Each structure stands twice: as structure tokens, then as C-alpha cells.
Amino acid sequence: MSSERRRQPVMLVISSPSGAGKTSLSRRLVADHADLFLSISATTRAARPGEAGGREYHFVTKETFETMAQAGDFLEWAEVHEHAYGTPRAPVVEAMRAGRDVIFDIDWQGAREVAAAAPGDVVRVFILPPSMADLSRRLHSRAQDAEAVIRRRLGRAKGEIAKWSDYDYVIVNEDFDLAYAELAHVYHAERLRRVRNPWLTPFVKALEAEPI
Ligand code: 5GP
């Protein structure tokens, strides 16, 4: 982006019940957009097989988490599924200062807090599964969690789904490629919002002043 056309960053918040595909969707959006920064949360939950510290999450102890929370290091934090999850503030501030957009894969509690802190910048997207049966299938096929954990997550999914009307956009993830295309459309349209592009005012003035 040229410095004359610098726009206000988009803070794209994505939520869904576990297993509805928000992580795959948000990772692909990041892979396709070099100027989109993925916020990596800190959590007190243990890493699942295949997860790496600093990639999926910063895996921290309860003590470290509490110290960070007390120091104000989190933009928001919440208890989800008996564990604490928080969004480290500094990387987000730094990315936005550099003119990058930021994507957050956080629950409805975090989405509310971030939206309250930056109402003009935040765009909230909720991902729904096509059915509860499909959600159950996806959680089982992921095979990362014990059966009891999966049952607890499914039990909570309905409570999370109930928060859908907090969100600006809602995408049903029945077909991954279609859901991804819809998410990318939302992101691209939000970048073009007039209020995010203050450079338009001098640009249009210059257009008006141009002799024809
Ligand atoms: P999981 O343990 O399955 O990776 O994530 C559980 C839930 O915690 C998901 O709904 C996820 O979006 C949410 N989550 C992850 N990081 C954060 C965070 O930093 N803040 C909040 N509020 N929720 C988070």
C-alpha cells in the first residue's frame, strides 16, 4: 500500500463453536494475504498433538497467564472450556501501527470486548456448521481430543451458536471453498469502506482540481 493511500486497518474477529472450521478459514485467509497479521493467543490449555508453541498458541502456565493479565498485557482475555485464553496486546498494536490488518480467532466474549474497545475498526464474522451432526463428525474426525472433551465441546456449542446475532456477518461452512470465498469477500469489502480510506478526501479534491 502506498503511504499516500494508507487506510485504517481492519480488525477481523472470527468466532464459531469448536470444529466449525474457523481456524482453517482464518489460516487460509492469512496465507493468501501478506498484509494480514494473525493474532496468536496465549492459553493455559495443553497443546494438542500437532500443535506448536508460537504457531497455534503461546502455551503458558496459569501463573504466567495471571501475571500477563495483571500487567495489562492482554487486549482481552476469557475463560473458555475451563482454560484461560488471551489476546496479547503488543503484537496487535505493532501490526496496526505498521498498517497491517489483524485477524483474531477468539470466542464471543473476546469478540465483544475487542469490538467495545475499537468499535470503528472491528468487523465480526461468525462461522456456523451446517448441522450439529456435521459438527460432531468434524470434532471426531479431527481425533485430537478425548471423547469426554469432545462431548463437553458439543454441549457448549449450542451456547456459542446462540451468540450469532452479535456478529456483522454469518457464514455457514458447508463447503469449505465456498465459505472461504465468502470470508474473503467480507474482508475485501471491509477494506474498501470509505471511512477506512481517509486518503480518498485529498484524492477526490485532486481529481476535482484536475483540468479537463
Ligand atoms: P481451542 O481450545 O479449541 O483452540 O479454542 C477454544 C475456544 O477459545 C475457541 O472458541 C477459540 O476461538 C477461543 N479462543 C482462542 N483464543 C482466544 C483468546 O485469545 N480470547 C478469547 N476470548 N477466546 C479465545
pLDDT of residue 94: 98
Report residue 103 as a C-alpha cell.
485477524
The CATH number that applies at residue 189 is 3.40.50.300
Q: How far is the CA of 108 from the centre of ligand 1 (A)?
A: 9
Residue 57 lies in a domain: no
Is 127 within the bounds of a domain?
A: yes
Has residue 173 been placed in a domain? yes
Task: Walk along the chain (212 residues) and give the pLDDT tens digit of each residue.
Answer: 455 789 999 999 999 998 899 999 999 999 999 999 999 999 999 998 899 999 999 999 999 999 999 999 999 999 988 899 999 999 999 999 999 999 999 999 999 999 999 999 999 999 999 999 999 999 888 767 788 888 888 888 999 999 999 999 999 999 999 999 999 999 999 999 999 999 999 999 999 999 99
Whole domain around residue 162: which residue ranges? 3-39+101-209
Residue 141 domain-assigned (yes or no)? yes
CA distance 164 to 17: 10
Q: Identify which of 30, 183, 167 has the alpha carbon closest to the alpha carbon of residue 100.
A: 30
Whose cell is 494473525? That residue is 38
| Residues near 12 by beta carbon (within 8 Å), at least 6 away in sequence | 29, 36, 101, 102, 103, 104, 123, 125, 186, 187, 190
User: What's the CA-to-centroid distance between 212 and ligand 1, angstroms?
Assistant: 55
**Assigned domain for 150 exists:** yes
Distance 196 CA to ligand 1 centre (A): 28
90 falls within a domain: no
How many domains does the chain fold into? 1
Q: How far is the CA of 179 from the centre of ligand 1 (A)?
A: 20
Ligand 1: list residues with CB < 6 Å: 15, 18, 41, 45, 76-78, 80-81, 85-87, 105-107, 109-110
Whether residue 52 lies inside any domain: the answer is no
Q: Is 79 among the domain residues? A: no
